[in-house]
Structures are given as C-alpha cells and as structure tokens.
Amino acid sequence: MKNRDSTKYLRNATLFALASILLFIWVFPLVWAVVVSLKSEAEVLAYPPRIIFEATAQNFKDALFGGVSILPSLITSLIVSTATTILTILIAVPAAYAFARLELRGKKWLGFYTLATQMVPPVGLVIPYFLILNKVGWLDSYQGMITVYLTFSLPFAIWLLVSYMEDIPREMEEAAFLDKANRFQALWHVILPQVRGGIAVTIIFVFLNAWNEFLFAVQLGGNTVRPVTVAMYNFVSVEQTLWAKLSAAALIAMVPMIIIGITAQKQIVKGLTVGAVKGGGRQ
C-alpha cells in the first residue's frame, strides 16, 4: 500500500511541477511588466537586469498625470466601450429573440448572414470605413467610432444571445400565452429573466472586445477620439521607447480588463465554451 501511495504522490508532484513550469511561461510576461513598471528608466537600462532594486511609483504617476497622460484616453475608451455595449445589447436582444423564437421565412439565410458578417477581416472594413467616414466628416468622432464598433459587436452578440435563448423550452412561453401574456410580456417577464446570465456574458465580451480594439481605433480616431490602446504609443517613438512608463501605462490600461477577467472568469469560460458547442464567432 505504501508503495502505491508514494508512486501516486510522485506522479502528482511531477505533474504539478510540469504544469507549474508551463504556468510560469504564461504568467511571466505580465509579472515582468509589473517589475519593469516599478523601475526607473535608468534602472531599466541596467544590464544585467536586476530583480532587486529600488521600486518607484513614479511611472504610474507620470502615465496618469504627466505630460503625455493617458487619462483622457481612459475616458475615451470608457465612453466608446460603454456606448457600444449598451447599443449592442439594445439592438441584439430583440433581434436574437426573433431569430430564436419566431417563425420567419428565410430564417436560415439570416442566420448564415449574421455568421458570415463575423468572418470579415477587420482590415477589409477599415479601408471602406476610412473612405466613407472621411467623406461624411466623421473621422475622429465619437459617433463614427461607435458606429464602426457596432460592426463587430452586433453579429457576435446576436449569435451568442440566440444560442442562449434557444435553450429555453418552448413550453415556458406557451404557458405564458395561456396565462394571457402577449409576446412583449412573455419576453419581458419570462424569457429575459432566464437569459440574464447569457446577457451578462454577452456584455462582458462586447465590452472587452471594444476596449481592446486597436485597428479601427488607430485609423479612424485622431486627437479627439484616442482610445487607450492607441495611447500606448505616447511612450513609443522612433528615437526611443520609454520602457518603464510604457509598462506602467499599459498596465493601467489593462487593469479594468484584468479585473473583469478575474471576477467574471466563470462567465468568460462559459462564453468561450458556448461558442465551442455551437460554433463560429469572434475571440
């Protein structure tokens, strides 16, 4: 008996060690970024790189309040991401309900169309958008950016929500109709409360994708609309890269995402795997 226990223990220990090494590979870049952000610029350039040093919060202060502060960009990202998310949900929920529940002629084609719109590579959209927004004068504007962000948020949200709504048994709504509810009341009182979880997952993913978006942000924005992903480049130029400040700024920009990631991890994994079961989709 003792032999078996010890081999089992050895086995578990090796597995754990192996997994921990791999874990390390994924944790390390972030950890190193934190380390660098706490160094002064001079310290960063020291060679060989030191692990023990005098930590300073100066970089964070500079990133937030200094000359090239990313604070305005944080606000911009917040506005754009929030507006995109709200608009997306308002439009996608009824559309998803109609797809999932109602008998529509050509429903299959509509579903395929929604799926296909997700397949379009962003570069294929940024070109026409640039040309169109240029003509309309909406470059570097909030309305332009948010409209463009709907491009990738909406199909994804509809597709996600449809799969959640399809899971609700038909009898639930039929019981509501027999209880004299009309379609709107059935949707509001019966269906929506049950897809609350699905809506939460959708919100998380839409917000995440909007916040992290880069291509549209850099091409279609400018000085007014400069999301935080673009603001990173405040610290990168042809002459030099301000390493420590860049790390600090990037970390600040990513903090909201990390918080969401950790607190909503169950929802996120659920969202990823819903995609895995039903197919297609972004991110």
Partner 1 sequence: MSSPMNQSKRAHGRGRVSLRGIRKSFGTFEALKGIDLDIEPVEFFALLGPSGSGKTTTLRVLAGLTPPDEGLMTVDGVDVTHSQPGERDVAMVFQNYALYPHMTLEANIGFPLKMDGVPKNQIPGMVRDAAAKVKIDHLLHRRPGQLSGGQQQRCALARAIVRQPRLFLLDEPLSNLDAQLRLETRVELKKLQRSLDVTTVYVTHDQEEAMTIADRMAVFLDGSIVQVGTPDEVFNKPSNVDVAAFIGSPSMNLIEGHLNGKTVSIGDYRFDLPKLSNHPSGNVIVGIRPSHIALGGAGLTANLYLSENLGESMLLNFKVGDNLIKVRLPEVRSFTDNEVVHLTFDSAHVHLFDPKSGIRIDL
Partner 2 sequence: MHRQGGLFAGERGFALLMVSPGLLVLALTTTFPLAYLIWSSFQNINLAMPFLDGFAGLDNYRDMLSDGRFWHALQLTGIYTVSSVFLQLVIGLGLALLVMQIPTGQWLFRIVAILPIVLAPVVVGLFWRTLMLAPEFGIVDFIIRTLGFESVNWLGSPTPALVSVILIHTWQWTPFAFLVLLASLASLPLDVFEAARIDKANAFQRFIHITLPLIRPAIIIVVIMRSMIALSAFAAIFAATGGGPGTASEILNLYAYKTSFVELNFGYGSALAVSLLIITLGVSGILFHLRTARRS
Binding residues vs partner 1 (CB under 8 A)? 169, 171-172, 174-182, 185, 189-190, 193-194, 196
HEC secondary structure over 3-71: HHHHHHHHHHHHHHHHHHHHHHHHHHHHHHHHHHHCCCHHHHCCCCCCCCCCCCCHHHHHHHHCCCCCH
Per CB under 8 A, does 103 bind partner 2? yes
Chain residues 121-160 in contact with partner 2, contact rule CB under 8 A: 121-132, 147-148, 150-151, 154-155, 158
Please report, in angstroms and rounded to a whole number, the separation of the first and last CA atoms in the chain. Answer: 48
Number of residues that bind partner 2 (CB under 8 A): 94
Q: Whole-angstrom Cα distance, residue 226 to residue 141?
A: 10
Only one residue has tokens 């970024």, namely 33
Q: Whole-angstrom Cα distance, residue 11 to residue 24?
A: 20
Residue 13 interface partner, choices partner 2, partner 1, none, CB cut-off 5-8 Å depending on type: none
Q: Whole-angstrom Cα distance, residue 93 to residue 96?
A: 5
Residue 273 interface partner, choices partner 2, partner 1, none, CB cut-off 5-8 Å depending on type: partner 2
Residue 106 interface partner, choices partner 2, partner 1, none, CB cut-off 5-8 Å depending on type: none
Chain residues 151-210 in contact with partner 2, contact rule CB under 8 A: 151, 154-155, 158, 183, 208
Query: Nearest approach, Cβ of 101 to partner 1 (angstroms)?
Result: 14
Specify the residue, 57 or 172, whose C-beta has the smaller distance to partner 1: 172
Token pair belonging to 130: 């640039």
Chain residues 56-95 in contact with partner 2, contact rule CB under 8 A: 91-92, 94-95
Query: Nearest approach, Cβ of 65 to partner 2 (angstroms)?
Result: 21
